[in-house]
Every structure is written in C-alpha cells, then in structure tokens.
Structure 1
Amino acid sequence: MKKDFSNLANEIIEHVGGEDNVQSVVHCATRLRFKLNDRNQADKQAVDDLDGVIQVVESGGQFQVVIGNDVADVYREITKSTSLGEEDGSGSNDNGGDKGNLFNRAIDIIAAIFTPLLGALAGAGIFKGLLAVFESTGLLAPESGTYQILNAASDSLFYFLPILLAITSARKFGADPYVAVVIAGALFYPDLVTFGEEQGTTDFFGIPVILTDYSTTVIPIILSVYVMSKFQAGLNNWLHSSIKMFFTPLILLVVMVPLTLIVFGPVGTVVSGWLADGYSFIYDGSPMIAGIFMGIFWQPLVIFGLHWGFVPIGINNLTIHGVDTFSAIIAPAVFAQAGSALGVWLKSRQTKVKAIAGPATISGLFGITEPAIYGVTLRYKKPFILGAVAGGIGGAIVGLSGASALAVALPGLTTLPVYFGEGFTLFCIAIAISFFLAAVLTFLFGYKDEQENETSSPSEPTAKSTNTTVTESQQTLTSPLQGAIIPLSEVNDAAFASEALGKGVAMIPTEGKLFAPADGTVGTVFPTKHAIGVTTDGGAEILLHIGLNTVQLDGKFFTTYVDQGDKVEKGQLLVEFDMKGIKDAGYDISTPVVVTNTGDYLDILSSNDGNVQVGDSIISIVQ
C-alpha cells in the first residue's frame, strides 16, 4: 500500500514557519535541505517530533530535516502543495542575502549545486561500472554497436556535466538558466573543440585564448555562472523594461562566452589541477594514513553536512585522472555504520529498537547511512564510535589496495561495479571487514538494552539532579566560566547535543576567560586554541570547547596560558578569548563542558539552568 506523505509535508512546512519563510528547499538522498528567511520562525523540536522525521540538523546555513529513504516522496508532496521546488528562491539564494560565515556559505553553495544531480550521478556511475565489468569479462566488445550505445547512455551525464552544473548553479545564484546552458555549451562546441585541437591557441580581438576541451569539467562553469548572475542583476537594473528581455541575454552571451574562454576556463583548469595535485600529494604520501583518517572522520562530516565540501574533489579527480581513489577510501566508513546498526539489531531484545535498527542496516548497505546514524548508532553513541573505528581500519586496507572509482556513486552494494579494476578484490574484503567488525564490536561492547543499564533497584536511592543526595563516590566539577548554563540538548551542534562526545552542560559566557574546573593535568591544547582537554586527578577527561565551529578561526581571538602536560589547579586561568570578536565573525559563543569518558562512570549529574560564577559546582561525576 502506498504511503501518504502529504500530511507530513504540510506539517514540516507549517513548523518551519510556513511557505513564506522558506527561501529554498532541495533534497539529497535522505534530507530536506531548507534555506530559511528567518530561523527564529522555525520550531526545530516540533519538526523533530513528527512521525516520519528521523532528526533535524542545522549545518552549513541550512535547516536539514532527515527523512530517510522516503525523502523524495515528501519533497514531491511539498512541491505539490506549495509553490516551492527546484526553482524556488533562485533570485536570492546567494546574492548577498546570506549572512552565514564564509565556510557555511561555501558548503551551502556546493550542496545546492550538486544535490539535484545526486540521483543521476549515482545511476550513471553504476551504469559505467557495469559496462566496465562486461567489457573486462568479454560479455561486450568495445567495438560493438551495443557497447557504444550503452556507453553513450552511461557517459553522457559526465561528458555534458558542465551543462547540468550550469542549470543548478543558475538556480543557486539567481541567474538565467537558459543563458547559463548556452555558455556551458560554448565551452565544448564541436567546431571550437576541433579548432582548438588543430590550433591549440587563438585570439579574441588580439587577446590570447587557450582552447581546450571543457567537457566533464566542474569549476569553470560554476565560476562563470556566479559572475554572470552579478552581471545579469546589474543589467536588469540598468536596462529599460521594454528591452531588457532581449538585450540582457544578448549582452550576457557577447560578454560571458569570451570571458569564460579567456579567464574562467583557464583559471578553473588551473584550480582543478591544484585540487587534484593536492589530493594526490596527500594520498600518495601515505594511502593507508589517508584511508584511516577519512574512514574515521567521514561519518562525523556527514552528521554536520560538511561532506559536501569533498564532492568537487571526487568529481575533479575523475576529470583530471579518470579515476577517484577518494570515493574508495570512504566506502568502508559507510558499511561500518551499517554493521554497527546490525550489531544493535542482533543484541537488542526491544521490539522498537529492532524495528529501527533492521531497516537502517539495509539502507546503510545501499549507501544511505543517515537512518543508521541518527536512528541507531549516534543515538547510543558507542556503536557510532566503534563504527568509525571499523571504518578507519577498512579505509587503511583500501588505501593499501589502490582501489578507485570509475565514476561518481554513493558507496553501497549496488555501486560495487563502479570500483571494478585495480585492487577490487581487496576493496571488497575491506568493506566486508568494516561491516562485520563493526557488528561484532557493537554486539560485544557497544550496546545494552535500556533495562540492562539500570543499576539500582526500586529500594535504592537514584540520583536525578544536583540537589539529590548520592551515596556513591563522586567528583565535582566547578564552573570554568562566568555565565549561564543551558542543557547540551539546546546546543546548535549535533555531536554535542546528542551527547555523542560525552555528557555535561553548555554555557553562555559573559566574560572571556576560561578557568580549570578541577585539579588535574592538561591533556590537550588544540593548535587553534579554541578547546582544552583536562584530565582531573580523579581520572575524568573534561573537554572545554569555547564556541561552536570556532576551529575555523585558526586561533584568532584566543590566548592560551597553559601547555599540554601542565599541572593545573581548580580555578586557574587557562584561556582568554575575545567574545565580541568571535560573535562578530559569525560564530556561536555557546561553550560545551563535557566528560568525554562518560562511559567509565555510573552517571554524570549536571545543572540544567541558571547563572553561575566561576567556581560554582555544575557537574557531579558519580563513580
């Protein structure tokens, strides 16, 4: 029986502030990605509580609603009941109205440009992989008509990629998509390509032009459409309404096609080369270390929506080198999260948990990990961490194998043909190891049903707040800041809010000084000075993280007074920071204070609200 998603679609729109509050909405494989005019009009908790919504994540300047495999159906209902859709907001998405910081804007732009192409890219990628298998096994000869027709069907998207990017870029930047397509077509117009192959260089009114084939390229057309959007806006304001319908496209073509061939094409080609060379330098330096790093951190990047920043690297690798090793080394991370979900499914005896973990495992095996992450592994924390570890081990093996992707595709069972070629056997072994290792580790060490975690009987006193008397041995942490305490769940960061990094509190400081919360030893001083790790004399590992995403400030506005290994006393000054400078740079000043080794203790009891002074008790660690 077909599900009815109309109610869910209408409720989501209602709780994000109504259609008028939505600047744009697109969807990827699992999420609705809203760009809102006023974030304060959206009720995040109400959306999160809807039946059919897995979780709400705010990242990259977007209000992201994680739906899962039914996201396309919900999106379709939104387009039916509203005027929103792929064309919405095209005039305002990135023409100066975005007040997010530069990093968030970059992620938002990349996501908006590539998300609409995700399905087609994945389908064409699988197609190319299957053709490679058929050719290598002798089922199809490259010189046969059948092969040539199928190859055209699979390769068309990649060859004409600049045209597709012209459409999505125009929608994002508020430019005329039809003029953008004409500009993209000019980049590899057949006669011009042939002329370039024969002549190499030419000139345009005496200005040198380097001619090359721009098919499959990414950066040149995006640069061109961005500049075109600014130029178009100026022309529309300058030209009279009676003539701008005809003269705006005319002037855009006359100016932008030569400008793209003279400037943006060569510049984009150079930048593409830098990206490819930079990635190759890192990968060739140590494929195993690259595999470990990306295998561990790929899924945390997915949580924050930051993985979109790596999409152009993968496509660019295919353009420059013909293959992409990056897609291969992240594949084990995907299968590992599916394995962790399987471990939970096998271990749990609760019907509700198994009902979520089972389908999440299946979707994870086919490359969609959000249901596994938000519904299972991140929810119970340890399965997510064990999955990341297993992904790192698998990534190391893939790095050693030299495996690579022949096309763009989401790592999953259906896309395995995309990785056919050098190292394919070891690649398959790596993803199998990641999957089963994560499942076994989670089953043995990563999950217990809630009723199994209960440590007290009804007759025993249980600590529920800082005002409750506890009989167990405990440590006390004092406030490292002057300010107000808020629950971690209210922090605008999924990793902290979900307590994936540990239990604790968050604070809104009123003074830019961070003090030691207990006697102990400085375990970590981050190079960017935005965070300090302190291990108390009682063994608790405390993370003090000043602001959210402040690692991007690269140490600006922070001054540290301790080094790694220093002994510190409770109340000792650790860091001074410029609150105004951090806020003016567009960053949230909320400061999480978390016990990262929470699992070593019976409970972490914390104050949930109120103003505090430095030295006031805020956290009790029950041993």
Structure 2
Amino acid sequence: MDYQKVASEVLDAIGGKENLEELTHCATRLRFSVNDKSKINEEKLKNNTKILGFVNNNGNYQIIIGPSVQDVYNAIRNTGDLEASGTKNIHTDEAEKKSILDRFLATISAIFTPYIPILATSGIILGLIAIATNFGWLSEESPTYITLNAMGNALLYFFPILLAFTAAKRFGANPFVGATIGAAIMHPSLSGILVSGENVSFLGISYSAMNFANTVIPIIIAMWVFSYTEKFLRTYLPKVLHFMLIPLLSILLMVPLTLMVFGPVGNLFAGWIAALYRFLSDGNLIVFSVVFGVLFIFVIMLGLHWVVLPLQLQILAEQGMEYSLAAGGMGNYALLGIALAVLIFHKDKKMKEVAGSAGFVNLISGITEPTLYGICMKNKRYFLALILGGATGGLVCGVFGIYVKAFAFTGVIGLPAFAAASEVFVYYLIAIFSSITVGFAATYLLDRRQKKESNG
C-alpha cells in the first residue's frame, strides 16, 4: 500500500488539512473530527478501494484501514503538516459540544488504547509461562520463572502509574505529576502497609486502607480531580510560583486524597461492578456466555467496548479469572468462518481477495474490521451467520465454564494467553471450532439461498 497516496486521498475526501480538527487512531481505525461536516465526501471515502470502511457516529468519524493504520496515520500527519495547520490530537474545548456518551467513550479510549498491545503481550507471556510450567520445563522457584512472571504481570500490577499518566494527559493535567502520584501510592514502603480493610492513619486521620495494585478505577477518578486541582492552582497562584508550587501542592494534596478518598470510593464502585458481574455470571453462565458471544462483536463495532474493557480488567485483576473475554471473542471466530466461506465459494474475484486477506489477519491477530466492513457490511445477510456462529461458541463457553487468566486477543498469536487457563483450554479450542464451523456453514447456506432467489 502507498501510504502517502492513501493519506492524500483521505485528506482530500474530508475537506483538506484545514478542516481536520482532531486525529487519533486505534488498532485498525483512524478516528477524527472536523470543523465543517459538510466538506466531508462520504461517497469518496466509501468507494476508495484502499479503505475497508467508513463510519459516521454522530460526528465522530472512523476510517477502517486495517493493520497498517499506524503507517497511514503517520503519513497523514506528514502529508498534512497538521501541527502547522492547527490540528489537535488531544482533548479540546470543542469536545464539550459532543454528547456525554461520546465524550466518555473518547476519554476511556484515550486512556486505555496505548496499553492494549502491551496487555495482549502480557497475556501471551503469562500463557507461555503456564505452558512451560505445566509440562515441567520451568520451576516456579527458578529465577527464570520469576523474571518471566514479572514481565507478564508488570503492566497490570503497576497499572495505576501508567493509567495516571494517560488519564492526566487526557484530562489536560501534567501527566508526569500524575504518574508521580500513581507511583507514590505504589511505592513498596507504602503499599506494604496498605493491606485492604486495615485501619491506618495519615496526620492523625484514620481511613480504611486498600492495595492499589491491579486497580484501574481509583486512579482515573483521582486524575480527574487532579486536573481540576491543577487548573485551580494555575488560576490563583502567581505565575512566578507555578514552576515549583503547582507540582508540590498537587502531590502533597492528591496522594493523601487518593489514599483516603478516591481509593475507597473507587474500590466501592469496583465492588458493585464485581457483585453485578457475579450476579449475572452465577445466575446463568450459559446465558451470560451466549449473550457475550453474540453481542460483543457489535459492541466493538459501536466503540462501546471501551466501557466494558475497564470492567473486564478490574474483574480479571481482582478474581484472577474472567469469563466474558473468552465468550466475547467467539464473534471474531464466526467472522473467520464467514471469510473462509466467501474465499472458497464466492464468485466475485474482488470479494475473494478481500476475504483472503481479512481472514488471514483475523486468524493471526484477531483483527476483525476487515471482515466486518469489507464483507459483512456489503452483504447484510452475513450478520445472521455472525450471530449464529457467535452464539454457538458462546454456548460452548457457558456449558464448559470457559474462562481466561490473562488478557488476550483472539487469533493464533493470542492462543498462549488462553492456554494459561489450562483446565479449560481444550474446551476453548472446541468453542473456536464450533464458531468457525457454524459461521462457515451459515454463510455457505445464505449464499446458496441468495443465488436461488436471484435465479427466480
């Protein structure tokens, strides 16, 4: 792919670099907003064969590129000289015009997106460790095991520090001060006395301690409050004192508040989430898994997975296992079955090419957008195959109680992470096979039926 040419075509279709207000990207999509919506040529974007799809979600635009999105993103920034044109890639006042849901999703996305590849990598490392341990190749007491385990668990354990950085940046505060606040609550000498449920005191003020390792909610709340604290200090302190006093007062104020207020409040929210999760999964795990198998791929399409992901990570960190990540991935494998059926049976040469590349990317790395937008959106009947395949895989997950012990993407690369849950891994493979098979068969039958209807 000629990334510079794609960049020029994208900029031309959205009204030029002057019309581009904000530009970011995730694993497969460019996300942007514009100053004047009327200048966007949606047909030009949709008809561009180098673009897999275009989504307009109430003014939050997405262009589906695929695995090469980073290259296209870089090319757009270079081609458009965006800094010179005034384009922003951070939270701006104009965002206030967006709906509360859009702003919330954009915020969660900005905070968590940088860590998704590292989360997946951590899961793979933990899975490989589990495999090596189960086969007796590695002893849990060995320095090698301890080193590898530290690699796999580092991100989740120190998540408060990393999330503090991206959350503070998103909320418009100094991210380095934010990371320092996160590091303070994770300092070994402090975390050693923060045994959850114990009563401790600061300056004579008693509070209920909690351990912040593996948590996500408390530090995000703290950084939101920190952003307003910093703005207050910038407004009322003389400018000559900003350099030293703002970081000093922010740390002196926010660390104790995080320990005594935001930690317990965030822990309370986390407890409610965990209770609701247990109620839903314990009530009927089969229904729970089928629902995730069917719906989670559509949740991803709508961008709402940024609401669910922090909850899944919190549950995984607290309980050491989680069900919905396994069941929710079944839609991905149903899409793989759809791509395989189109590749083998479809008569259109271009569709077969799209199916081949989309299926390969899905198989290896679990990226689904090429199949969703390159195949399913062009033949809405395939969504029935997607639902049936996802439901079947979800059913198998529910029947056998399939769970994960580490965050992972679907696909061959992510399999070691799922293998960490060795007790249910064989059943997980059966669920994968079921989803692919049903997605494949349903697509074949739908195409045959459509052909018969066309022939009259």
In the alignment, which residue of structure 2 is the partner of 1:373? 372
CA contact (8 A) 2:161 2:179 kept: yes
CA contact (8 A) 1:28 1:115 kept: yes
User: Structure 1 residues 397-406 or 55-64, which shifts more?
Assistant: 55-64
In the alignment, which residue of structure 2 is the partner of 1:359? 357
Q: Work out the CA distance in 2 between the residues paired with 1:319 and 1:77.
A: 38
Q: Work out the CA distance in 2 between the residues paired with 1:96 and 1:219.
A: 26
Q: Work out the CA distance in 2 between the residues paired with 1:120 and 1:131.
A: 16
**Compared with structure 1, are the counterparts of its residues 238 and 22 closer, same or farther at alpha carbon in structure 2 (3 Å cutoff)?**
farther
Q: Work out the CA distance in 1 between the residues paired with 2:332 and 2:100.
A: 29
**Compared with structure 1, are the counterparts of its residues 41 and 445 closer, same or farther at alpha carbon in structure 2 (3 Å cutoff)?**
closer
- Local SS of the residue matching 1:214: coil
After TM superposition, the structure 1 = structure 2 runs for residues 489-528 of structure 1, keeping only pairs within 5 Å, are none
**Compared with structure 1, are the counterparts of its residues 188 and 23 closer, same or farther at alpha carbon in structure 2 (3 Å cutoff)?**
farther
CA contact (8 A) 1:386 1:446 kept: no
- Local SS of the residue matching 1:305: coil
Aligned-pair identity (%): 33
**Compared with structure 1, are the counterparts of its residues 278 and 220 closer, same or farther at alpha carbon in structure 2 (3 Å cutoff)?**
same
In the alignment, which residue of structure 2 is the partner of 1:483? none
Q: Work out the CA distance in 2 between the residues paired with 1:37 and 1:281.
A: 45
Q: Work out the CA distance in 1 between the residues paired with 2:43 and 2:228.
A: 38
Q: Work out the CA distance in 2 between the residues paired with 1:244 and 1:411.
A: 48
In the alignment, which residue of structure 1 is the partner of 2:28? 30
Tell me, yes or no, if structure 1 residue 141 matches structure 2 residue 145. Answer: no
Give 1:144 deviation, angstroms: 0.9
Give 1:37 deviation, angstroms: 4.5
Deviations along 1:508-529, one digit per CA (max 9) or x if unpaired, are xxxxxxxxxxxxxxxxxxxxxx
- The residue type equivalent to 1:425 in the other structure is V
Structure scoring higher RCO (CA < 8 A, sep ≥ 6) equals 2
Scaled by the length of structure 2, the TM-score of the pair is 0.92
In the alignment, which residue of structure 1 is the partner of 2:411? 412
Give the alignment partner of residue 111 of structure 1, picking from 100, 109, 112. Answer: 109
Deviations along 1:53-103, one digit per CA (max 9) or x if unpaired, are 11111237621111011112112323444356xxx847634x684222222
Gaps of 5+ in 1: 457-623
Give 1:376 deviation, angstroms: 0.6
Q: Work out the CA distance in 1 between the residues paired with 2:143 and 2:233.
A: 49
In the alignment, which residue of structure 2 is the partner of 1:273? 271
Tell me, yes or no, if structure 1 residue 347 matches structure 2 residue 345. Answer: yes
Q: Work out the CA distance in 1 between the residues paired with 2:238 and 2:353.
A: 62
**Compared with structure 1, are the counterparts of its residues 123 and 399 closer, same or farther at alpha carbon in structure 2 (3 Å cutoff)?**
same
Name the structure where helix makes up a greater proportion of residues: 2
User: Structure 1 residues 340-349 or 12-21, which shifts more?
Assistant: 12-21
Give the alignment partner of residue 71 of structure 1, picking from 69, 72, 80. Answer: 69
In the alignment, which residue of structure 1 is the partner of 2:91? 92
After TM superposition, the structure 1 = structure 2 runs for residues 200-599 of structure 1, keeping only pairs within 5 Å, are 200-365=198-363, 366-420=365-419, 421=421, 422-446=423-447, 454-455=454-455
Give 1:389 deviation, angstroms: 1.1
**Compared with structure 1, are the counterparts of its residues 156 and 31 closer, same or farther at alpha carbon in structure 2 (3 Å cutoff)?**
same
In the alignment, which residue of structure 1 is the partner of 2:182? 184
Gaps of 5+ in 2: none
Q: Work out the CA distance in 2 between the residues paired with 1:68 and 1:198.
A: 43
Give 1:240 deviation, angstroms: 2.8
- The residue type equivalent to 1:408 in the other structure is F
CA contact (8 A) 1:35 1:63 kept: yes
Give 1:447 deviation, angstroms: 5.8
Q: Work out the CA distance in 2 between the residues paired with 1:199 and 1:69.
A: 45
- The residue type equivalent to 1:133 in the other structure is I
In the alignment, which residue of structure 2 is the partner of 1:10? 8
CA contact (8 A) 2:123 2:406 kept: yes
Q: Work out the CA distance in 1 between the residues paired with 2:58 and 2:278.
A: 27
- The residue type equivalent to 1:75 in the other structure is Y
- Local SS of the residue matching 1:215: coil
Deviations along 1:181-203, one digit per CA (max 9) or x if unpaired, are 00111121111112334993322
Give 1:445 deviation, angstroms: 2.3
**Compared with structure 1, are the counterparts of its residues 37 and 158 closer, same or farther at alpha carbon in structure 2 (3 Å cutoff)?**
farther
- The residue type equivalent to 1:232 in the other structure is E
- The residue type equivalent to 2:434 in the other structure is I
Give 1:375 deviation, angstroms: 0.5
CA contact (8 A) 1:59 1:305 kept: no
Q: Work out the CA distance in 1 between the residues paired with 2:251 and 2:184.
A: 10
Q: Work out the CA distance in 2 between the residues paired with 1:199 and 1:31.
A: 43
CA contact (8 A) 1:47 1:56 kept: yes
Q: Work out the CA distance in 1 between the residues paired with 2:370 and 2:274.
A: 32
Q: Work out the CA distance in 2 between the residues paired with 1:90 and 1:210.
A: 39
CA contact (8 A) 2:122 2:152 kept: yes
**Compared with structure 1, are the counterparts of its residues 267 and 446 closer, same or farther at alpha carbon in structure 2 (3 Å cutoff)?**
farther
User: Structure 1 residues 202-211 or 359-368, which shifts more?
Assistant: 202-211
- Local SS of the residue matching 1:57: strand
CA contact (8 A) 2:294 2:390 kept: yes
Deviations along 1:294-347, one digit per CA (max 9) or x if unpaired, are 111122222222222211121011111011211011121110011111111111
CA contact (8 A) 1:347 1:447 kept: no
In the alignment, which residue of structure 1 is the partner of 2:169? 171
Name the structure where strand makes up a greater proportion of residues: 1
Q: Work out the CA distance in 1 between the residues paired with 2:58 and 2:130.
A: 37
CA contact (8 A) 2:33 2:60 kept: yes
Instruction: From the CA coordinates, give the structure whose radius of gyration is larger.
Output: 1
After TM superposition, the structure 1 = structure 2 runs for residues 146-161 of structure 1, keeping only pairs within 5 Å, are 146-161=144-159
Q: Work out the CA distance in 1 between the residues paired with 2:449 and 2:256.
A: 64
- The residue type equivalent to 1:368 in the other structure is I
**Compared with structure 1, are the counterparts of its residues 163 and 36 closer, same or farther at alpha carbon in structure 2 (3 Å cutoff)?**
farther
**Compared with structure 1, are the counterparts of its residues 175 and 291 closer, same or farther at alpha carbon in structure 2 (3 Å cutoff)?**
same
- Local SS of the residue matching 1:387: helix
After TM superposition, the structure 1 = structure 2 runs for residues 599-618 of structure 1, keeping only pairs within 5 Å, are none
- Local SS of the residue matching 2:438: helix
**Compared with structure 1, are the counterparts of its residues 96 and 216 closer, same or farther at alpha carbon in structure 2 (3 Å cutoff)?**
farther
Deviations along 1:330-373, one digit per CA (max 9) or x if unpaired, are 12111001111111111112211111111111122231111001
- Local SS of the residue matching 2:193: helix
**Compared with structure 1, are the counterparts of its residues 230 and 5 closer, same or farther at alpha carbon in structure 2 (3 Å cutoff)?**
same
In the alignment, which residue of structure 2 is the partner of 1:500? none
Q: Work out the CA distance in 1 between the residues paired with 2:448 and 2:207.
A: 62
- The residue type equivalent to 1:52 in the other structure is K
- Local SS of the residue matching 1:196: coil
In the alignment, which residue of structure 2 is the partner of 1:602? none
CA contact (8 A) 1:401 1:423 kept: yes
- The residue type equivalent to 1:135 in the other structure is T
RMSD of aligned Cα (Å): 2.5
Q: Work out the CA distance in 1 between the residues paired with 2:158 and 2:303.
A: 27
Give 1:276 deviation, angstroms: 1.6
Q: Work out the CA distance in 2 between the residues paired with 1:183 and 1:121.
A: 22
**Compared with structure 1, are the counterparts of its residues 309 and 425 closer, same or farther at alpha carbon in structure 2 (3 Å cutoff)?**
same
